């Protein structure tokens, strides 16, 4: 297992916690497939399918938060959306690099060194502030909705 569900910071919106928990499940499944692949026990197709599932889930994960940020008029929307766009671009770029090189260390380095830290930091910072705003109307800019 790469990320334990216990490491996931909880935010004030249950729908967001549920999506984050699913995300961690997919990341752990993907990592297990990559490790198994190195031992000749999974396939490129299995990794590709799981990675595509992860991208599709992430598109929906981010869209769900962005739709609600727009609906509720979250003031620092652009900052949070910008970080989603950057993370999704990186996820797609790593997939392309893996497709080009077929080098599983590209996936391992990304999954071990980048993803867990990024995800827990993002949830602990932007998602936490955003969920609190959804819940209470309090934003870091001091504008209540
Ligand atoms: Fe999130
Ligand atoms: Fe987010």
Examine residue 144 and state whether it is found in any structural domain, yes or no: no
Which residues have C-beta under 5 Å from ligand 1, the single-atom ion?
Answer: 127
Examine residue 141 and state whether it is found in any structural domain, yes or no: no
Integer Rg of the chain from CA: 16
70-97 per-position pLDDT tens digit: 999 999 999 999 999 999 999 999 999 9
**pLDDT of the residue at 142:** 53
Q: How far, in Å, from the CA of 123 to the mean position of ligand 1? A: 6
pTM for this model (two decimals): 0.94
**pLDDT of the residue at 140:** 67
Which residues have C-beta under 5 Å from ligand 2, the single-atom ion?
Answer: 65, 127
Average pLDDT over residues 48-70: 98
Nearest ligand to residue 11 Cα: 1
Examine residue 121 and state whether it is found in any structural domain, yes or no: yes
State the Cα–Cα distance between residues 114 and 76, nearest whole angstrom: 24
**pLDDT of the residue at 138:** 77
CATH code assigned at 37 = 1.20.120.50
Domain that holds residue 124: 11-136
Kindly give, in sequence order, each residue whose CB lies less than 8 Å from that of residue 114, ignoring residues fewer than 6 positions away: 90
Q: How far, in Å, from the CA of 40 to the mean position of ligand 1? A: 34
Nearest ligand to residue 60 Cα: 1
35-55 per-position pLDDT tens digit: 999 999 999 999 999 999 999
Tell me the average pLDDT of the chain: 95
Examine residue 90 and state whether it is found in any structural domain, yes or no: yes
At residue 137, does pLDDT exceed 90?
Answer: no
At residue 32, does pLDDT exceed 90?
Answer: yes
Count the Cβ atoms, other than its own, within 10 Å of residue 14. Answer: 10
Based on the structure, what is the number of domains in the chain?
A: 1
State the Cα–Cα distance between residues 77 and 73, nearest whole angstrom: 8
């Amino acid at each position: 297992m790469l990320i334990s569900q216990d490491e996931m910071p909880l935010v004030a919106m249950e729908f967001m916690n549920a999506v984050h928990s699913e995300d961690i499940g997919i990341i752990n499944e993907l990592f297990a497939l990559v490790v198994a692949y190195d031992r000749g026990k999974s396939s490129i197709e299995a990794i590709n399918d799981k990675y595509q599932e992860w991208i599709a889930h992430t598109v929906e994960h981010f869209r769900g938060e962005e739709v609600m940020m727009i609906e509720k008029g979250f003031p620092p929307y652009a900052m949070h959306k910008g970080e989603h766009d950057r993370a999704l671009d990186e996820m797609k770029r790593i997939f392309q690099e893996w497709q080009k090189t077929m080098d599983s260390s590209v996936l391992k380095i990304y999954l071990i060194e980048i993803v867990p830290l990024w995800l827990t930091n993002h949830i602990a910072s932007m998602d936490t502030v955003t969920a609190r705003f959804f819940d209470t109307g309090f934003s870091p800019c001091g504008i209540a909705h």
